């Protein structure tokens, strides 16, 4: 009779994960060139050198052999919009015309639950193809868009955060809720989904211009009443938008301060973009435990501006990377790293590949207060992981055929890789995507 528990699995590959931020700590990462990841009942049991861990396995344990590949934690994308999957790569001269011309008409279609379901299915499969296992997702103003999303993500066993968009002004009537109804719907959705399976609720006021002061106040009160929920919104993305906010909220010191005024700044608050924050704003981000979702492909696409990594790091703000699909131009966190690297260069700073892999894994988990649950291979963590193939294209094979360092390997994957580099994706120890070459 076999002594191997049926829920025990093992994977041989090079292993990469983080236990600290490489920008501030030496030896922040673990790298096992010939490594073994042991998973039991959907959680990490151990991660280390193959030679050391193999003898700990019961005789007869099946070891899946991914030698030559890299296993790392699943990517975490901290800001994107599932309803915008159908309008990715839609041209417009900047944020506000893009919202009017494409975004609002596209989001209108989510009054149809069947459309919401079909789009959620596509969106989640696309994330898994790109190696993203957790995301902070905007739905639309329609509460059924949230149900459709979580039903699809739970069917795939994914840890996902999402929420109903709140907006009660400065948008077409067909997308408008009211301050009271929007918050009532959000509370119902919290009670239905937050903590159900691996689902987590995010209170989601779109951005300050589309919420009345009453709606912002009620959203802040809801966030205080449910401190384990997330809160997500956009801030200081675009110069024209920032001017508009100054006009709408003349009494507040800054755009970010509008959110602080209404009680949004707290741990588990994730603010998308943060391009035009000043020094005081960055300090408040850090002091309140709020987190930045840096969205480089979106910011370049819409011409919004360049995120200042150095300023954020000078006060140790929580940072993560995000695609911001559909203003973002790729679902791939590797391509998001590629653009983040260039944004940093244009601001005169430098983002090593190790830092970018940290930001897309443990950095994002820390931003979401989920360290120990996802983002690395600490014993007991949920076994969300991906298998990356450094030889997935002729060019990557050629470039990674001669390497001086781990940094060069990861840099090549970030600059040249995309969904093709993701050979397999596992969620809670279950295979949820496998690439057919």
Which residues in this chain contact Zn ion in the complex, by CB under 5 A?
272, 324
3 state SS of 238: coil
Q: By rule CB under 6 A, what string of x and - marks binding of each residue 62-91 to ligand GUN?
A: -------------------x----------
Q: b/e for 179-218, b at 16 or more Cβ within 10 A?
A: beebbebbbebbeebbeeebbbbbbbbbbbbbbbeebbbb
Residue placing its CB nearer to ligand GUN in the complex, 122 or 244: 244
Residues in contact with ligand GUN, shown as a per-residue x/- string from 215 to 234 under the rule CB under 6 A = -------------------x
Pair of tokens at residue 335: 């391509």
Distance CA 388, CA 111 (A): 38
Shortest Cβ 210–ligand GUN spacing (Å): 7
308 touching ligand GUN, by CB under 6 A: no
Which of 9, 78, 298, 335 touches ligand GUN by CB under 6 A?
Answer: 298
Candidate ranges 95-103, 108-116, 336-344, 428-436; the one touching ligand GUN (CB under 6 A): 95-103
339 binds ligand GUN (CB under 6 A): no
Nearest to residue 297, comparing CAs of 335, 346, 353, 345?
A: 335
In the list ligand GUN, Zn ion, none, the entry touching 207 (Cβ below 5 to 8 angstroms by class) is: ligand GUN
The CB-of-207 to ligand GUN minimum distance in angstroms stands at 4
Over the window 235 to 254, marking each residue x when it contacts ligand GUN by CB under 6 A and - when it does not, the resulting string is --x-----------------
Contact status: 142 vs ligand GUN (CB under 6 A): no
- The DSSP result for 17-70, as a single string, is EESS-TTT-TT-EEEEEEEEEEEETTEEEEEEEHHHHGGGSPTT--EEEEEEEE
Minimum Å gap between C-beta 335 and ligand GUN is 17
Q: What are 231's strand-pairing partners?
A: 203, 269
**Residue 103 contacts ligand GUN per CB under 6 A:** yes
Cβ atoms within 10 Å, residue 99: 21
3-state secondary structure at position 104? helix
């Amino acid at each position: 009779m076999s002594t191997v528990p049926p829920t025990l699995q093992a994977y041989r590959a090079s292993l990469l994960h983080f236990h600290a931020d490489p920008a501030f700590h030496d030896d922040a990462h673990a790298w096992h060139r010939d490594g073994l990841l042991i998973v039991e009942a959907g959680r990490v049991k151990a991660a280390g050198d193959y030679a050391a861990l193999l003898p700990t396995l019961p005789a007869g344990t099946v070891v899946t052999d991914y030698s030559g590949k890299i296993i790392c934690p699943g990517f975490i994308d901290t800001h994107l919009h599932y309803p915008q999957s159908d309008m990715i790569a839609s041209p417009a001269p900047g944020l506000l015309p893009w919202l009017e011309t494409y975004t609002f008409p596209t989001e209108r279609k989510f009054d149809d639950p069947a459309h919401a379901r079909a789009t959620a299915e596509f969106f989640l499969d696309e994330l898994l193809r790109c190696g993203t296992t957790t995301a902070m997702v905007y739905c639309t103003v329609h509460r059924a868009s949230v149900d459709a999303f979580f039903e699809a993500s739970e069917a795939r066993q994914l840890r996902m955060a999402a929420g109903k968009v709140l907006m009660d002004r400065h948008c077409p009537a067909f997308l408008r809720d009211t301050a009271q109804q929007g918050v009532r719907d959000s509370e119902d959705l919290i009670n239905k989904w937050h903590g159900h399976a691996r689902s987590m609720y995010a209170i989601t006021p779109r951005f300050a211009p589309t919420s009345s002061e009453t709606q912002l106040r009620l959203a802040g009160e809801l966030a205080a009443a449910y401190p384990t929920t997330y809160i997500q919104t956009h801030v200081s993305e675009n110069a024209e938008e920032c001017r508009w906010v100054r006009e709408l909220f003349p009494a507040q010191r800054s755009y970010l301060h509008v959110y602080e005024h209404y009680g949004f700044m707290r741990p588990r608050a994730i603010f998308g973009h943060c391009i035009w924050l000043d020094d005081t704003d960055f300090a408040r981000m850090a002091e309140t435990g709020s987190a930045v979702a840096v969205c480089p492909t979106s910011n370049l696409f819409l011409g919004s501006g360049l995120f200042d990594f150095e300023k954020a790091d000078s006060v140790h703000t929580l940072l993560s990377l995000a695609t911001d699909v559909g203003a973002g131009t790729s679902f791939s966190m590797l391509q998001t790293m590629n653009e983040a690297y260039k944004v940093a260069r244009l601001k005169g700073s430098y983002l090593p590949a190790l830092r970018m892999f940290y930001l897309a894994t443990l950095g994002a988990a820390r931003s979401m207060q989920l360290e120990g649950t996802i983002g690395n291979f600490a014993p007991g963590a949920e076994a969300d992981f991906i298998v990356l193939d450094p030889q997935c294209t002729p060019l990557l094979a050629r470039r990674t055929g001669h390497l001086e360092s781990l940094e060069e390997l990861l840099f090549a994957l970030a600059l040249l890789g995309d969904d093709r580099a993701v050979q397999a994706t596992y969620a809670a120890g279950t295979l949820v995507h496998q690439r057919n070459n």
